[in-house]
Structure 1
Amino acid sequence: MAQSLGLSRATVGFVLNDTPGQTIPVSTRRRVLSEAARMGYRPHRAAQTLRRGSSKVILFVLPDWAAGLTMQQHLDEAALALDEAGYSLVTCTRYTAGRARPLWELLTPDVVLGLSPFDAGELASMHACGITRIIPAPEQPTTLDDWPALTAGTALQVDHLHEQGHRRIAFAAPADLHTPLLDHRVRTAQQAATRLGLAPIDIRPVDHGDGSAREAVRHWRDAGVTGIAAYNDDTAAAVVGAAVRAGVSVPEDLAVIGHDDTPLAALFVPSISSVRIDIVSLGRHFAAFALHEADGRRLPPRDTRTDTVVMPRESTQAGSGMPHEAVFPSPDGITAPTARP
């Protein structure tokens, strides 16, 4: 390339590597970049990393959990903020089998972050790659308690139901999900019930397609339960749907609140109360934290009190003026009662 342009290799290298402190004319830079594009040039990532001492990559290692819409939105916001700072956010999933080569060995990221501590083998692999910025660090282990935006909403769900006058509360869990996050939310619900002087929370698995939601509603009604905190909005929708098909008034006889405030919550009929997470603020804070670890940028203070808030809707608010009993045929073909005037 240098020969075809009649330039020195050093000049071409300075332009392609965007080397600071060089006084190269704009016209020369344009010529080099135009020729590089014509030739299909791509920078050698490993060489750039070695030269700069930085890959400009942040690697976020996700647990082997189903990533819902909220997590995807959170990552999108974080990726945008990091891109504005000149960094790339790369995510990978930490599978139990772990047969694939770890992505940090291929990318040599500036920072590796995870939701849970890395084991000795993973840490040894990172250290062998020269990665020193690892979160959580072995000497500072973290738990889900350190990620309150993921877990604090469950206590808000129970508090909201209690404020609406419900004293027998249950928790609806996805039937096919078994993760530390679910376990943590169940524990949080139980702790909230104890704090409020309520009976222990009854936990039931719920799925919209196997009849378990219908069975759970029947069980809860027989047990005198009047309020349901659901793991997420999908689970809440399964409970509400089963209730209205069984002729159970929502929210007069059974109030339900979801989590994550996805579009489904507002679109469902009746609309579903839910816990909203401030995705934009959390994504930006995650990016700021990653940049702080990567190159020492100042970590701005933030108020976390509004990270999670309850969005009350018809599924917990009586007197909304909406139909409260089933208007759909039930799965067994028996038409449920019509809505009350």
Structure 2
Amino acid sequence: MSETTTKRVTAADVARSLGLSRATVGFVLNDTPGQTIPAATRDRVLAEAKRLGYRANTAAQALASGRSRIILLVLPDWPLDYSMRTHLDEASLALDEAGYSLVTMTPHPGGHARPLWETLRPDVVIGMAPFTPQQLAEIRGSGVEQIIPPVAAGEEGASGDLGFAEGPRLQVEHLLARGCRRLAFAASADPRIAGLVSQRRDLASATLRATSGSGFAVDSVVTEANVASEVERWIGAGVDGVVAYNDDIAAIVLGAALRAGIAVPAALAIVGHDDTPLARLVVPSLSTVRVDNAGLGRYLAELALSAATGSAPPLAGPETDAVLVVRETT
């Protein structure tokens, strides 16, 4: 009984088939800069490589060029929600169009997995939030030269602005404009996003104090287990408007209010954040805030490509302008 093995097609096989030099074929297949290969020859090489089933040896190319064409995006330990998926999809698409692969990793406290910046040798490591001093030292120690942001959290030049300042302001201003006078803030209980929740709460509270002279009447962490009692407590405290951390929290509050027979929005107006598909699908549909997460994804890709190729960085930051989407809950 014979065994059939499949031999990998090499550049030498393509050169032999066409009667061209190995160097010429190599220049074409590796897209080597500075070489003047006639267009007709280039087309012949590419067509023959495709016919023979040639596939580049990416490991060898990376070793020879010093580039892996991999962008490593380090994510905080946040839930992979709709907004995160949207800008990761957009960043991945933009990088793919430029010939780069986007790989993500999430370091976990006490984790034992070897960091991907050591195993993949990416061209660029980019963080969704500033790195700790230890992470930055480890990334540099692994040989990665291009790191975004290049300074650790807490150092001069590190930014904690996640681009959502306008959203909480719009939530509060909208509820006040429609006549609400006592507002509650409904927060998520997920400890992984405590920083994001705190940021949005603080921004909303600052707007409320600047506009009305007082803060939130009630500030609650909302879960499926406690939402019914929380909504009852809000109504007893005279709350008539709810600023929800996101659309998921807004939907939980909406469901509890309807089950309790509370008229929405007549007795309790609710506005969410992120404009997820859920906001359009629930009945009544959720008023919410839309942020251009796809724009953030494109901006991340542009930053990474500028670092990988040495080109000029994007002139403008991510398009994070927030837009209020008014639906049935207000």
TM-score by length of 2: 0.84
Provide the rounded CA distance (Å) in 1 between the counterparts of 2:29 and 2:316: 39
What CA distance in whole angstroms lies between the structure 2 residues aligned with 1:88 and 1:12? Answer: 25
**What is the number of residues matched between the two proteins?**
308
For the 8 Å contact 1:12–1:32, the answer to whether it is kept is no
**Contact 1:168 1:198 survives alignment (8 Å):** no
Say which of 140, 143, 162 aligns to 2:176: 162
Identify the range of structure 1 (298-307 vs 172-181) with the bigger mean alpha-carbon deviation: 298-307
The unaligned stretches of length 5 or more in structure 2 are 1-9
The unaligned stretches of length 5 or more in structure 1 are 317-341
SS of equivalent residue, structure 1 residue 205: strand
Mapped partners of 2:236, 2:211: distance in 1: 23
Q: Deviations over 1:135-155 (max 9, x none)?
A: 22225443432x214x53122
User: Take 1:312 and 1:268, find their aligned partners in 2: how far apart are those partners?
Assistant: 14
Aligned twin of 1:137: 150
Q: 1:269 to 1:32 in 2, by over 3 A?
A: closer
Question: Do 1:144 and 1:181's aligned partners in 2 also have CA atoms closer than 8 Å?
Answer: no
Residues 144 and 184, structure 1, Cα contact 8 Å, conserved in 2: no
**CA distance change for structure 1 residues 118 and 178 in 2, over 3 Å: closer, same or farther?**
closer
Q: Is the 8 A contact 1:117 1:141 kept in 2?
A: no
Counterpart pick for 1:206 among 215, 222, 234 = 222
CA contact (8 A) 2:131 2:149 kept: yes
Q: TM-score, normalised by structure 1?
A: 0.82
Aligned match for 2:208, one of 179, 193, 199? 193
Q: Which moved more, 1:171-180 or 1:22-31?
A: 22-31
In 1, Cα distance between equivalents of 2:318 and 2:20? 55
Contact 2:94–2:301 (CA<8 Å) still a contact in 1? Answer: yes
Q: 1:323 corresponds to which residue?
A: none
Question: Paired residue for 2:119, among 98, 106, 117?
Answer: 106
Partner of 1:184: 199
CA distance in 2, matches of 1:292, 1:303: 14
* Counterpart residue number, 1:61: 74
Distance 2:317 2:76 in 1: 27
Separation of aligned partners in 2, 1:102 and 1:290: 19
Partner secondary structure for residue 51 of structure 1: helix
Q: Alpha carbons of 1:267 and 1:198: their partners in 2 closer, same or farther (altered >3 Å)?
A: farther
Aligned equivalents of 2:213 and 2:234: distance in 1?
15
C-alpha separation in 2, matches of 1:117 and 1:306? 18
Paired residue for 2:235? 221
C-alpha change, 1:98 and 1:22, in structure 2 (3 Å) is farther
Report the CA distance between 1:36 and its aligned residue.
4.4
Q: For residues 110 and 75 of structure 2, what CA distance do their matches in structure 1 show? A: 14
CA distance in 2, matches of 1:116, 1:302: 18
What's 1:123 paired with?
136
Matched residue type, 2:48:
R
Secondary structure at the counterpart of residue 145 of structure 2: coil
Q: Give the deviation of 1:178 after TM superposition.
A: 4.3
Work out whether 1:311 is the aligned partner of 2:325.
Answer: yes
Q: Is the contact between residue 79 and residue 192 of structure 2 (CA under 8 Å) also seen in structure 1? A: no
For the residues of structure 2 that align with 1:249 and 1:9, how far apart are their CA atoms? Answer: 77
Counterpart for residue 276 of structure 1: 290
Q: 247-256 vs 13-22, which deviates more?
A: 13-22
Which residue identity lines up with residue 250 of structure 1 in the other structure?
A: V
Q: CA deviation at 1:124?
A: 2.4
TM-align CA RMSD: 2.4
Query: Residue 281 of structure 1 contacts residue 307 of structure 1 at CA under 8 Å; is this kept in 2?
Result: no
Corresponding residue to 2:48 among 31, 38, 62: 31
> Aligned partners of 1:124, 1:88: CA distance in 2, in Å?
24
